A and B are shown apart, each in its own frame.
Chain A
């Protein structure tokens, strides 16, 4: 699972939520859009990574340094190798325009991060249960 999130606090809280929800699996964290793209396409600091080993789920924040989240999403959907990757937007933004742009670019789901941590961890857990356990992955190995 790839978590694209610049806020360390949010990364930690997400990680904590996953632990509490006993969600297993490797969590790769990308601090900005550029790192996320390098990871996904096996270049830069992730040069040589096997691109076919796709993450089971991408949790994508929108407001990111350097490359914004929507651009990351666009690039994923533009690449034939990983275009069907499940991408869930998990963002603080409640803007309607972000919501619509996200779906337009092919996001699989869109969630607003609530301020209340209990609600937040609840949401994260539910997403992961659904996408990692219930949903069938397009690139099943």
Chain B
């Protein structure tokens, strides 16, 4: 305001000064009355130019007065002497005013122009500041895409400086795959369409691509065609990333919720949530339902759901509600009345109450019940305790020195015998280190313990200790690792037993055994000798006993031949009887030798076809019994393991017998087969030989297989009584057995089996040597 006033004052002062100067300028004129007005005009113009209308008018007025006073006759007076002067002054005033007004107009126009220019300048700088301070990229381009301006944000976002891109095409920013789309957009914009919030990808100078939010505003001419396009671009790459991260987080949250729900649903741990003063169940998972079978839970107060346990449980709930502190009860027993069968049982559960602040209702606390059914553990634990007690009893009263240690050689258990042996008394050893209890344990033993702890079983069946009193003790001991449930060595068990007595006996037994072996050797030798003697005896019998018989027979025959005519019939019959007896004696000797040979023959086992063997024997037997009609019925394919030679001897005897004793039948029917329904022995079939002969009385069956035992008279059926003894010998040598079934006149059946090879070796091995 002050300034404005001053300036107004200055303008008027300038007008006055200019009027003064205008008068002073006239001083050099010779004729002061010439050009009375003209010289004033420039100063009036200056005053109007500088001071405006009213200072101009003032200057005009002052100049008019000055001219009237100094230049118009009468000079130095304001008197105007004539109409010409009036006219001049009036014209001067009008002209001065006109000039003043005109310059005033000019000045104003100039000032206005100045002001407009200033404002425009300001606007421009504002706009530039706005444009350059924006975080969004801004640019202008021509409809054909040529970039005309490029702000700082654009430089920052795209990496191109304004200098680089102005004059370039906007397509510089388009990724190749978007060119077609962008061209279409450019086309639309060029006909005046405004594009708002379009999302696209833009490529930066360094090749990086960004997510761009694009606005394009065309500046249109009168025909609606764009003359220029203003674009703003916001880099929303970060935003996009955040958006996608948010979506990811939301998915994860949903996933976690699903997992949590699944855990709660499928957990074997029981969960339930109660709320409010009545502890109403809000939810309970299947495991909780499992704890309380057959009871409706959700939406009902606790006291109603489980009245029998409520008196014990509810005080705990109240405490949690009041204090806001959770409770961990551990394993507790709860009564549970079975709703189905009315049975009252004890439920063992491990329970915790967890306070949960209800976020929906500030200040209220819900209780999460977490419970695990530990009934099974409880039972196992009880069982374990029982086992432990039994184990303790067993160890303590074991009739041996026995101790169990952990890995640090601390006592876990030991037997009374152990305490006695080491003089440990009755004190509690549990947890004490063996080496503290018995400082005299030697280094060697410690080493053995360490070996045990490394998993080795160290033992000695008999170890000799000489005691201080000179007594010799024999100890059997064993150090054995025991393993825990993880299979790691949990410690060792030491067992020791005094076996001095036993050792004494064992040594005796050893001595006795040695004696026995010696004796066996002697006996074997004796046996071998007698066996040899027997052989030479048999040889002698074979040779020497038969020679005289032949003599008797031979000379009797010679006597008969040479002197037969001089003897009567009776005498000849006697001599014939002598011969017959001699021959029978020879037969007896032969059979006996045969039997003894069978006994001495080694058994050579082989697979053989008994049926085939029986057929060949039957043929031979039939041939030697000419005149007798014999029908053999032999089952084919009887396979056995046996000695062919011995079995042939046995079969020959059996078939001979069968033929002999059925001699009196019109047709002898002899059957050989296996007992299809009978038992087998060592995989060998039971074989039978049946005839339709005279048979025998079972009362005498016991004598059947003895040597020289006969159940029929020689006159009826001749024979020496050696045959069946030989058969039995053969069967026994095979490890088998034989028996007979018969009745007088009913025929006889012989059943036999051949034992396995093992039995034969066991029973007859010495006979082979």
Chain A interface (Cβ within 8 Å of chain B)?
A: 7, 9-10, 13, 16, 62-63, 91-96, 113-118, 120
B553 touches A117 (CB 8 A): yes
A63 touches B543 (CB 8 A): yes
**5 sampled A-B residue pairs with Cβ under 8 A:** A10-B547, A16-B554, A93-B543, A94-B542, A115-B585
Query: Which residues of B have CB within 8 Å of A62?
Result: 543
B542 touches A113 (CB 8 A): no
Which one of A94, A115, A118 lies within 8 Å of B549 (CB-CB)? A115
A95 touches B554 (CB 8 A): no
Q: Which residue of A lies closest to B601 (CB)?
A: A96
Which one of B551, B555, B557, B582 lies within 8 Å of A118 (CB-CB)? B557
B542 touches A115 (CB 8 A): no
Query: How far, in whole Å, are A63 and B556 apart by their CA atoms in the complex?
Result: 24
Query: How far, in whole Å, are A93 and B550 apart by their CA atoms in the complex?
Result: 13
**For chain B, what secondary structure do more than half of its interface residues adopt (helix, strand, loop), or is it mixed?**
helix
Query: Which residues of A have CB within 8 Å of B543?
Result: 62-63, 91-93
* Shortest Cβ gap from B127 to chain A (Å): 143
B551 touches A92 (CB 8 A): no
Query: How far, in whole Å, are A10 and B549 apart by their CA atoms in the complex?
Result: 11
Query: How far, in whole Å, are A117 and B555 apart by their CA atoms in the complex?
Result: 8
Query: How far, in whole Å, are A13 and B557 apart by their CA atoms in the complex?
Result: 10
> Chain B interface: which size bin?
20 to 34
**CB under 8 Å from chain A, chain B span 572-614:** 579, 582-583, 585-587, 590, 593, 597
Query: Which residues of A have CB within 8 Å of B553?
Result: 115-117
Query: Which residues of A have CB within 8 Å of B556?
Result: 117
Query: How far, in whole Å, are A118 and B593 apart by their CA atoms in the complex?
Result: 23
Query: Which residues of B have CB within 8 Å of A91?
Result: 543
Q: Which residue of A lies closest to B545 (CB)?
A: A92
Contacts A93-B543, A115-B582, A115-B586 given; indicate if A9 touches B554 (C-beta within 8 A): yes
Query: Which residues of A have CB within 8 Å of B590?
Result: 94
**CB under 8 Å from chain A, chain B span 523-571:** 538-539, 542-544, 546-551, 553-558
Query: Which residues of A have CB within 8 Å of B548?
Result: 9
* Shortest Cβ gap from B532 to chain A (Å): 13
Query: How far, in whole Å, are A134 and B375 apart by their CA atoms in the complex?
Result: 112
A7 touches B551 (CB 8 A): yes
Query: How far, in whole Å, are A62 and B542 apart by their CA atoms in the complex?
Result: 12
Query: Which residues of B have CB within 8 Å of A96?
Result: 597
Query: How far, in whole Å, are A67 and B101 apart by their CA atoms in the complex?
Result: 195
Query: How far, in whole Å, are A105 and B544 apart by their CA atoms in the complex?
Result: 23
A114 touches B539 (CB 8 A): no
Query: How far, in whole Å, are A92 and B539 apart by their CA atoms in the complex?
Result: 10
Chain B interface (Cβ within 8 Å of chain A)?
A: 538-539, 542-544, 546-551, 553-558, 579, 582-583, 585-587, 590, 593, 597
Query: How far, in whole Å, are A131 and B526 apart by their CA atoms in the complex?
Result: 47
B547 touches A92 (CB 8 A): yes
* Shortest Cβ gap from B550 to chain A (Å): 5
Query: Which residues of B have CB within 8 Å of A116?
Result: 553, 579, 583, 586
In the A-B complex, the 5 residue pairs with the closest CB atoms: A115-B586, A117-B554, A9-B551, A13-B554, A117-B557
Query: Which residues of B have CB within 8 Å of A114?
Result: 550, 586
* Shortest Cβ gap from B646 to chain A (Å): 14
Max chain A CB contacts within 10 Å: which of B542, B554, B558, B586? B554
B539 touches A95 (CB 8 A): yes
Q: Could you list 5 further interchain pairs (A-B, Cβ under 8 angstroms) beyond the known A16-B554, A117-B550, A117-B557? A: A9-B555, A10-B551, A95-B539, A96-B597, A115-B582
Max chain A CB contacts within 10 Å: which of B543, B579, B590, B597? B543
Query: How far, in whole Å, are A62 and B587 apart by their CA atoms in the complex?
Result: 21
* Shortest Cβ gap from A88 to chain B (Å): 17
Query: Which residues of B have CB within 8 Å of A120?
Result: 550, 554
Query: Which residues of B have CB within 8 Å of A10?
Result: 547, 550-551
Query: Which residues of B have CB within 8 Å of A113?
Result: 546-547, 550
Query: How far, in whole Å, are A39 and B554 apart by their CA atoms in the complex?
Result: 28
Q: Which residue of A lies closest to B551 (CB)?
A: A9
Query: How far, in whole Å, are A120 and B579 apart by their CA atoms in the complex?
Result: 14
B542 touches A95 (CB 8 A): yes
* Shortest Cβ gap from A115 to chain B (Å): 3
Query: Which residues of A have CB within 8 Å of B585?
Result: 115
Max chain A CB contacts within 10 Å: which of B542, B550, B582? B550
* Shortest Cβ gap from B575 to chain A (Å): 12
Query: Which residues of B have CB within 8 Å of A92?
Result: 542-544, 546-547, 550
Query: How far, in whole Å, are A95 and B540 apart by their CA atoms in the complex?
Result: 10
Query: How far, in whole Å, are A107 and B593 apart by their CA atoms in the complex?
Result: 24
Query: How far, in whole Å, are A35 and B550 apart by their CA atoms in the complex?
Result: 24
A7 touches B554 (CB 8 A): no
* Shortest Cβ gap from A3 to chain B (Å): 15
Query: Which residues of A have CB within 8 Å of B557?
Result: 117-118
Q: Which residue of A lies closest to B585 (CB)?
A: A115
Q: Which residue of A lies closest to B561 (CB)?
A: A20
* Shortest Cβ gap from B650 to chain A (Å): 18
Query: Which residues of A have CB within 8 Å of B579?
Result: 116-117
Q: Which residue of B lies closest to A5 (CB)?
A: B547
Which one of B542, B555, B558 lies within 8 Å of A93 (CB-CB)? B542
A13 touches B550 (CB 8 A): yes
* Shortest Cβ gap from B579 to chain A (Å): 8
Query: How far, in whole Å, are A91 and B550 apart by their CA atoms in the complex?
Result: 12
A115 touches B539 (CB 8 A): no
Query: Which residues of A have CB within 8 Å of B558?
Result: 13, 16, 117
